[in-house]
Chains A and B, each alone.
Chain A
């Protein structure tokens, strides 16, 4: 279950970060922040040229020690990063499911981008995006 979902802009500041309220959110924020390094490392290591969908998905960034919190990364072609912290204590999510979740995130993100009233770089305040994220965080739980 996704306990935290974050959208990080190209300049590495968060456009959107949301976590399930149960846990202390700061901790998730911190985890996301640390994941950014890993993400950067991955995308720099990746081939410069070919950035296709597959490589947009970065996979498990690194497993966590304690309560099995896994972080997954996903980067778009415009270097907007999605980081998802997933609680894998219950059924471990398959890779495909994570991918599909990222895909949904990406789609919603592009919908937000399409909105002419949204200035890139603003925090994402779209209700539709919120709803989608909420559904993702709840459904997996």
Chain B
């Protein structure tokens, strides 16, 4: 055949059609059946079809190769345009519109065809809208799919006057859920996504019944004047078929806008297929909405007042109640006026409703206003994605209006991020100056995770106030430690330990330990520790940290152990520390804890030390509870916490020391020693106790005092026995501590009850 020159649009279009027909995927030859079907859809008389086939050489060859197919298509276009069929005409006819294929099954096709031809001008508005309905997993093939789509659409919607939405038919897929009526074309050829609000498009006028012909017609046509469309919109009852909810039009994907060429339409179709959002606004629709907005309010950045919007939407003849609901959904900032985005969302909902879709209970994400000026966003505070606002257009705004951001996509992403960050909401806590300082230091040091929930901010005052002091302090501590901040309160040893502990409140902080804990070395892999080296090192660290106290948030793992000297000063250290506010305990503990996965052997030391320290600390601890309630009443949680933890720390230092040690051992899963296991179980029994970092301080002291644990395996036996002994001692110590703590708990609860009773008595007066 003669060489065939095709424009780009035609090329694309034809290739799509070819692939549509090429169901066998041969890429060379198309199935005759499909081709014939296609040609029939072209609504040409049979003899013309035959002539075309003959001309293109198919009859000669017996099949439709690609070139034949293209030629045939071109001839179809020629024929549809009314030109005589000549071989030469394929190249000579200029500006041939793309061949149109209409569904053959419907009687209304002729109407469509007619409307197409007549309203080709209107096609332009649809150009962008070809979003293939994602849902049905169809192949987004060429416009041929329109064939099947056509019948449906036509079956449903027909308003003779307004062929509704051409592309619309395609959407069958996406809005499955939305579909109330069975009208929408059964997915079958959803490839063609024609999403578009039915009534909407009807204003667009006619010619739109979504066939591929639309593509052809679309090329180069301008959108119909909105005004009259609106009028027809008002007159037009909802067209059923159109899946108004345009599934995924490509908005974000393509910038196909305006009068897309068929190429773009096809591209859009392809791209949007994967996206299944029934509420997405296609570009065409958006443009239409924008135009409508302009009629009411020329300034695109301005508002439409409620009254004007009311009149406008009343024209749609929806019941007032539904309009009211639509308004509620779309007026995001609740200011009684609609911004452009809000207006588009509202309009979209109206269209959806008119097409039979139920209104959602809350605004779909794709309809949420994406671009809200900062000043407006103040009202939008409740929106989940504030982050998304101001300047969220992730994609180049497809529409002409500069204020229109690309739709949708950015929104969910932003939501996600904001949600993630939202998890970490700092809880105000008051901290004693020293503690604050420490934490600041830690913060600076760790530097990471601003969103770290476990940062000092995170501690919840309420926890302290309402919960058992022990628990709260524990939690706080755990939270902190998880952060990796060796803040004073956090005593929890390892992040893992903490995690395993009961008090793990801030799960999110769990992530931090590894990330944000520069000071403490990354938790050692628990299972692999053998007692020997790691233990010593851990001990060393704890000791060291215990010594160094406040401010020493980050201890490099390689701190040399200071066994003996630390032991003696251990208790002394604790004392002054406590006096200072116990920051040191907590501070040290977090570091220590992460560093000491292996507490197995140290527990023994700690038991000793704990027993030593315990007595001393108990006194202090006793003092503190009294202080604490008072503090509680007055101070902010953090300070309370500090105080509590401090006091508790003292109380529990001994207990915690062993507990911590045991905790340390806990992570060491593998350590074969039964001692460890016992310790672990003990730890589990006393989750509260474990929480206190102070224990680590004690432990450190204890450990320091003790000779380094024999490392070599050869000494295991003795070590085991020794550790057994130690563990037993630790057990007793811990048990004692536990009882003491329980007693304190009871006292505190009693106090609380009394306070509540007082409050109750006072309350009645408040009302009068």
Contact = CB atoms under 8 A, between A and B. Distances in A.
Given A116-B309, A117-B320, A111 B327 contact: no
Interface stretch (B90-98, B206-214, B331-339, B521-529): B331-339
B307 interface: yes
Contact of B324 (A59, A60, A95, A118): A118
A115 B324 contact: yes
Contacts of A59: 766-768
A111 B328 contact: yes
A48 interface: no
A92 B760 contact: yes
Nearest to A72: B767
Contacts of A131: 361
B767 A115 contact: no
Interface residues of A, number: 19
Secondary structure at the B interface, as helix, strand, loop or mixed, is helix
Contact of B336 (A60, A116, A127): A116
B202 to A, nearest CB: 24
Given A92-B760, A126-B324, A126-B328, A116 B306 contact: yes
A114 B324 contact: no
Given A126-B325, A127-B325, A115 B306 contact: yes
Contacts of B334: 110-111, 114
A128 interface: yes
Interface string A53-75: 00000011001000000000000
B17 interface: no
Contacts of A118: 324
Interface string A110-140: 1110111110000001111001000000000
Contacts of A92: 760, 763
B341 to A, nearest CB: 17
Contacts of B760: 92
Given A111-B334, A125-B321, A127-B361, A116 B763 contact: no
Given A111-B334, A117-B320, A117-B323, A127 B767 contact: no
Contacts of B336: 114-116
B323 to A, nearest CB: 5
Given A92-B760, A125-B321, A115 B328 contact: yes
A127 B331 CA distance: 14
B328 A127 contact: yes
A115 B331 CA distance: 8
B327 A116 contact: yes
A62 to B, nearest CB: 9
| Residue with the greatest number of chain A CB neighbours at <10 A, chosen from B320, B327, B760, B767 | B767
Contacts of A94: 763
Contacts of B331: 114-115
A126 B324 CA distance: 7
A111 B335 CA distance: 8
Interface residues of B, number: 23
Interface in B299-353: 306-307, 309-310, 313, 320-321, 323-325, 327-328, 331, 334-336
Interface string A77-98: 0000000000000001011000
Given A125-B321, A127-B325, A128-B328, A114 B767 contact: no
Nearest to B327: A115
A102 B768 CA distance: 18
A94 B307 CA distance: 41
A70 B579 CA distance: 49
Contacts of A125: 321, 324
A63 B766 CA distance: 13
A110 B538 CA distance: 61
Interface string B744-763: 00000000000000001001
B767 A95 contact: yes
A125 B335 CA distance: 19
Contacts of B764: 63
Nearest to B766: A95
Contacts of B306: 114-116
A34 to B, nearest CB: 17
B326 to A, nearest CB: 8
A95 B766 CA distance: 8
A111 B380 CA distance: 13
Nearest to A129: B328
A64 to B, nearest CB: 13
B39 to A, nearest CB: 51
Contacts of A116: 306-307, 309-310, 327, 336
Contacts of A60: 767-768
Contact of B327 (A95, A110, A117): A117
A10 to B, nearest CB: 20
A92 B309 CA distance: 45
Nearest to A107: B334
Contacts of A114: 306, 331, 334-336
Nearest to B326: A117
A23 B333 CA distance: 37
Interface centre among A95, A117, A125 (most CB of B within 10 A): A117
A114 B306 CA distance: 8
B758 to A, nearest CB: 13
A63 B361 CA distance: 38
Contacts of B313: 117
Interface centre among A60, A94, A125, A127 (most CB of B within 10 A): A127
Contacts of B767: 59-60, 95
A59 B344 CA distance: 43
A82 B226 CA distance: 45
A47 B325 CA distance: 38
A59 to B, nearest CB: 5
Given A115-B324, A117-B313, A126-B328, 7 more contacts: A94-B763, A95-B767, A111-B334, A116-B309, A117-B310, A118-B324, A126-B324
20 contacts: A59-B767, A59-B768, A60-B768, A92-B760, A95-B766, A95-B767, A111-B334, A114-B306, A114-B331, A115-B306, A115-B328, A117-B313, A117-B323, A117-B324, A126-B324, A126-B325, A127-B325, A127-B361, A128-B328, A131-B361
5 A-B pairs with the lowest CB-CB distances in the bound complex, closest first? A116-B306, A60-B767, A117-B324, A116-B310, A114-B336
